[in-house]
Amino acid sequence: AEIGSPLGLRSLGMWPEQWQRPEASLGYELNTGGLDTSFHMMTQGMKGDGGLSASVADLLKIGTALADGTLLPASALERMLSPTPIGPIAIDYGLGVKSGNYHGQPCWGHSGGYKGTGWALLAHYPESGITFAAAM
């Protein structure tokens, strides 16, 4: 389904085309010559991200739309947040979303990154209604 237009997303796209845009945040590593931004890693196949990328502003819009029911019905979000059994154990990771507590506050979200790709975090705190997104 198309989510970009209904949510007003301006940057959502596929890797590697996205990092070729002039406003893209590049991954880097520190080596003896200083910061090297030539290291790029294709993440599809390595992770479940499928190669999507977006700006922090668009990530925040996606998180807010998930939390307020604009993007998915509450039943779908509940399923995303439900622990996923892996054999005889269940972990606090649902369908792409991890649930837990941070300083006593219930929260859910997703983080990711790898050497040369940058890092991102999306978190939502249901009791306060705060949704937070960051990237570096």
- pTM value is 0.76
Output the DSSP codes for 90-101: EESB-SS-EEEE
Distance, CA of 27 to CA of 18 (rounded, Å): 12
Fold of 4-135: Beta-lactamase (3.40.710)
Beta bridge partners of 91: 84
**pLDDT tens readout for residues 80-89:** 999 878 788 7
**pLDDT tens readout for residues 20-62:** 666 666 666 777 888 776 655 554 444 445 667 788 899 999 9
How do strand 118-125 and strand 105-114 relate by DSSP bridges? antiparallel
